């Protein structure tokens, strides 16, 4: 029987880790599996709880980071150290229903799919405004990156080893997993499910956190914003040239030099704004390049029960 590795990022989830394990044990009675908890610098008793579970269950592995590196880094560390032929990524808060797992494993083992991923089809229990912005993000992202990210796509997925190897070949520091998963290609089957509210603990995502995450995602997958200044600059130059001719003709005909305060103010402000914005966009890409060139590790392990980490 093939081994399934379940990669589970955990950040301050002391209440969830044990419930999660119980659920998996219930669901996967007939499968060979290992659980790889990644403790992402939790400040509560998450690590202690995980160690207790590892002591009494030989198929529970863990990696504990030296500080909080973020969920994306935790996923990377998990994928890198998973030993199964099938690898699953899952949240510990049970918002990714374990009940889908048997179907996902079945599809990826017997059908011609390399990846089976879960898609949230409802957003019940979520603030309307969050759904609205999320919808907007997918629209904008897909339009400007020429990618086709499925709306409601989650990180909850079961992948074959070659897919994971492909993802690991992208050791970039700025990891936008949704995009990376899509970028590598492979046959993907989507399984729809209804949104489930968190039972215990709290989400770590704030609204601004999500906005920043969206910008990171866009910067990571398209350089289109860099070219926008070229188009905008060309357009404004043409308009400015035409307007210049209009002014010269008007001056020659009516010789009226004093008017035009409003025009001057508007153009200074507008152009100043556009220029600063373009410099900002440039800066954003420069920032990303700078960080990538430093080549810092994506995560630092403090302790683990995996031998050859």
Instruction: Report the interface residues with ligand UDP, using CB under 6 A.
Output: 9-11, 13, 40, 68, 70-71, 74, 91-93, 95, 203-205
Question: Is the Cβ of residue 205 or residue 290 nearer to ligand UDP in the bound state?
Answer: 205
Closest approach of Cβ 95 to ligand UDP, in Å?
Answer: 5
Q: Which does 59 bind (CB under 5 to 8 A by kind): Mg ion, ligand UDP, none?
A: none
Closest approach of Cβ 171 to ligand UDP, in Å?
Answer: 19
Question: Is the Cβ of residue 207 or residue 235 nearer to Mg ion in the bound state?
Answer: 207
For 249-273, b/e burial (b = at least 16 CB within 10 A) is eeeeeeeeeeeeeeeeeeeeeeeee
Residue 95 near Mg ion by CB under 5 A: yes
Closest approach of Cβ 198 to Mg ion, in Å?
Answer: 5
Residue 40 near Mg ion by CB under 5 A: no
Q: Which does 155 bind (CB under 5 to 8 A by kind): ligand UDP, Mg ion, none?
A: none
Structure-block tokens of residue 53: 């579970």
Starting at the earlier edge strand, list the strands of the sheet with 32-39: 188-193, 115-120, 153-160, 86-89, 3-10, 32-39, 60-65, 301-304
The rounded distance, in Å, linking the Cα atoms of 123 and 226 is 34
Structure-block tokens of residue 248: 């010269």
Stretch near Mg ion under the rule CB under 5 A, chosen from 27-35, 76-84, 85-93, 114-122:
85-93
Question: Is the Cβ of residue 95 or residue 222 nearer to Mg ion in the bound state?
Answer: 95
Question: In the chain, where does DSSP find H-type helix?
Answer: 16-27, 46-56, 71-81, 101-110, 128-145, 161-168, 177-183, 207-221, 224-254, 261-294
Q: Which of 253, 274, 270, 250 is closest to 262 using CA atoms?
A: 270
Please identify the residue of the shown chain whose CB is closest to the bound ligand UDP.
9
| Bridge partners for 304 per DSSP | 63
Closest approach of Cβ 203 to Mg ion, in Å?
Answer: 5
Closest approach of Cβ 196 to Mg ion, in Å?
Answer: 9
Question: Is the Cβ of residue 34 or residue 91 nearer to ligand UDP in the bound state?
Answer: 91
Closest approach of Cβ 229 to ligand UDP, in Å?
Answer: 34
């Amino acid at each position: 029987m093939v081994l399934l590795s379940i990669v589970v990022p955990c950040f301050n989830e002391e209440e969830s880790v044990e419930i999660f394990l119980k659920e998996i044990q219930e669901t996967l009675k007939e499968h060979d599996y290992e659980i790889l908890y990644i403790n992402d610098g939790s400040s509560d008793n998450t690590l202690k709880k995980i160690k207790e579970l590892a002591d009494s269950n030989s198929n529970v592995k863990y990696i504990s980071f030296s500080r909080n590196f973020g969920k994306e880094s935790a996923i990377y560390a998990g994928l890198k150290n998973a030993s199964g032929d099938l690898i699953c990524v899952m949240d510990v808060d049970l918002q990714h229903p374990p009940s889908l797992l048997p179907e996902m494993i079945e599809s990826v083992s017997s059908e011609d799919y390399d990846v089976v991923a879960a898609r949230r089809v409802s957003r019940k229990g979520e603030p309307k405004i969050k759904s609205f912005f999320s919808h907007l993000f997918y629209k904008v992202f897909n339009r400007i990156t020429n990618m086709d990210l499925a709306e409601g796509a989650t990180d909850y997925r079961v992948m074959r080893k070659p897919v994971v190897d492909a993802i690991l070949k992208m050791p970039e520091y700025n990891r936008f997993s949704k995009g990376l998963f899509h970028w590598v290609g492979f046959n993907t089957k989507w399984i729809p499910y209804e949104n489930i509210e968190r039972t215990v603990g709290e989400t770590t995502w704030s609204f601004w956190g999500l906005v920043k995450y969206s910008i990171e995602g866009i910067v990571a997958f398209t350089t289109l914003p860099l070219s926008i200044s070229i188009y905008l600059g060309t357009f404004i130059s043409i308009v400015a040239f035409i307007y210049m001719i209009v002014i010269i003709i008007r001056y020659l005909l009516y010789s009226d030099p004093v008017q035009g305060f409003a025009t001057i103010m508007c153009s200074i402000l507008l152009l100043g704004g556009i220029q600063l914005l373009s410099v900002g966009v440039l800066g954003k890409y420069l920032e990303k390049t700078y960080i990538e060139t430093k080549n810092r590790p994506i995560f630092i392990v403090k302790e683990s029960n995996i031998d050859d980490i």
